Amino acid sequence: MITKQTVAEQINSYLNHQTTLTQLVDWSENVLSHGDIADDDIEVVSEVVARLGVADVKNFGLLWEECDSLLQKLGYELKAEVNKVA
């Protein structure tokens, strides 16, 4: 079941370099074509996932500010943390 939390976790994983943009886009496309989206979340999840699904197109991209906006639509707040590289 795909929920707002599921989508927020995918965006967070991308922002933390745990998944690539290609993986995020592939996941999004799979959700749109085969995903079981929770009824309570279907409108906002469908909108956000559709946007993520075109993030690999040059004219669309995926900026930090847009990730922030998408997460807010899902009910989450984006915060940055900087860690020194060893």
Cα separation, 7 vs 55, whole angstroms: 14
Phi, psi dihedrals of residue 84, rounded to the nearest 5°? -70, 135
pTM for the whole structure: 0.90
Find all residues with CB under 8 Å of 2, minimum gap 6, and list them.
Answer: 31, 35, 36, 37, 38, 41, 45, 49
- Is residue 19 over pLDDT 90? yes
Residue 55's identity, in one-letter code, is: A
For 57, counting Cβ atoms within 10 Å of its Cβ (0-12 exposed, 13-18 middle, 19+ buried), the class is exposed
Model pLDDT for residues 40-62, shown as the tens digit of each residue: 999 999 999 999 999 988 778 88
Q: What is the mean pLDDT of the chain?
A: 93
